[in-house]
Structure 1
Amino acid sequence: MEKTSRLETATGSTLLNVELCGRQSSSFQLESGRQRNLVKSRMAAQGASTMANKGPSYGMSRQVQDKIEQKYDPELEVRLVEWIGTQCGSGVGKPEAGKLGFQAWLKDGCVLCELINTLCKDKPVKKIQSSSMAFKQMEQVSQFLNAAEKYGVVKTDMFQTVDLWEGKDLAAVQRTLMALGSIAVTKDDGFFRGDPSWFFKKAQENRRDFSDDQLKEGKNVIGLQMGSNKGATQSGMTGYGRPRQIMNP
């Protein structure tokens, strides 16, 4: 009987220990899961913040970045801010003076999408929504770029999303907006607002149509590459070595 009771006691203790170990293991796994989620959220937040705030450049990278920053034109910034405010209205507000203020004003893509919508009859960007999420902001900037390309801005005048969002090349952003304004002035379709002298007009196609008779006549014209039958000639000149003939009337 004694051996049986001792065995039951030992078995009960073992089961109790196993149960306690299982509870501790479950609580440890739960705590580990919470810590992993916390680390992931912190890394995501840190990644989102470091996308726009990159570390300093050194050496050749620093020289290249300095050259890019020197292309930024503060006077052009004032002109573009004035045009966008005139084109879109007071609802878009005005940025703080300087490159960082200009970037922060356009970074979320809302002002850019409002701008392209005021220039197009069909309003290509259907939904404009202010958001603090990075991918939403970059998506709206991409929508503006796609709409600007359809409007007529060539690819060589387009900036990349990272040029604006990370502040890599704000001079390229100015170049795109200048090209957009130039096309709006050139189209002269009634949607442009502001002073047309702020932008230059694009070269226009000057197509000429010739009739069949005019084309046939053109084949009889001697090309300048073949020489010319006009201008000074040797008419009336004597050959070399021959005396001049003097004749009395």
Structure 2
Amino acid sequence: MANQGPTFGLSRDIRNKIEKKYEPELEERLVEWIIAQCGASVGRPEPGRMGFQAWLKDGTVLSLLINSLYSEDQKPIKKIQDTDKAFKQMEQVSQFLKAAENYGVNKTDIFQTVDLWESKDMAAVQRTLMALGSIAVTRNDGHYHGDLNWFHKSCDKITSQRKLESTRK
């Protein structure tokens, strides 16, 4: 965790609550999906929160993931950079977040770059990836790869409205 000293009192309590929200089992499922979606060339992270964070931190895997949900001519991230420069890596993560929002992930489900980059809230990263996977499964447009049972189908507004109308009749 970059630039963080020891925490005490309320700060430590808050940090512990955030860390307890991280689910190691969910990490395994997300890793399996990302590999199924992007291919084995993305590698596999070391098990655990820090390995998962290191794997995603530069934004390369995230960019490949969001691009894999589109056809070749519609990829939202045109240039995926493999760089050691921190500001470029953070920019790439930000591009993923914007593309995820455009894909349909709610703003409330999107993590902040610092949540991933400084490992401040890896549970938020998990929530974003879960929301993305749920939307991909729901779209059923042929771009999702992996087990359909890994994610719940999202209920969109049109489907909800139709169900509500049919119950009123």
What TM-score comes out, normalization by structure 2 length? 0.91
Once residues 177 and 123 of structure 1 are traced to their aligned partners in structure 2, the CA distance between those partners, rounded to angstroms, is 18
The match for 1:94 is 44
1:197 aligns to 2:149 (yes or no): yes
Aligned to 1:145, which of 56, 74, 97? 97
Aligned to 1:133, which of 75, 85, 96? 85
Return structure 1 stretches of 4+ with deviation > 6 angstroms. Answer: none
Once residues 8 and 107 of structure 2 are traced to their aligned partners in structure 1, the CA distance between those partners, rounded to angstroms, is 30
Gaps of 5+ in 2: 163-169
Once residues 98 and 183 of structure 1 are traced to their aligned partners in structure 2, the CA distance between those partners, rounded to angstroms, is 26
Aligned length: 158
The match for 1:35 is none
The match for 1:166 is 118
Give the aligned residue type for 2:60. Answer: C
Q: Which has the larger radius of gyration?
A: 1
How far does residue 53 in structure 1 lie from its aligned partner after superposition?
A: 4.2
How far does residue 129 in structure 1 lie from its aligned partner after superposition?
A: 1.2
Aligned to 1:118, which of 44, 68, 75? 68
How far does residue 116 in structure 1 lie from its aligned partner after superposition?
A: 0.1
Gaps of 5+ in 1: 1-50, 209-249
The match for 1:180 is 132
Once residues 113 and 81 of structure 2 are traced to their aligned partners in structure 1, the CA distance between those partners, rounded to angstroms, is 17
Tell me: higher relative CO, structure 1 or 2? Use CA pairs within 8 A at least 6 residues apart: 2
What TM-score comes out, normalization by structure 1 length? 0.62
How far does residue 132 in structure 1 lie from its aligned partner after superposition?
A: 1.1
Once residues 128 and 115 of structure 1 are traced to their aligned partners in structure 2, the CA distance between those partners, rounded to angstroms, is 11
Give the aligned residue type for 2:40. Answer: S
Aligned-residue CA RMSD in angstroms?
A: 1.2
Once residues 56 and 142 of structure 1 are traced to their aligned partners in structure 2, the CA distance between those partners, rounded to angstroms, is 28
How far does residue 123 in structure 1 lie from its aligned partner after superposition?
A: 0.7
1:191 partner SS = coil
Matched ranges for 1:1-249 at <5 A: 52-121=2-71, 122-204=74-156, 205-206=158-159
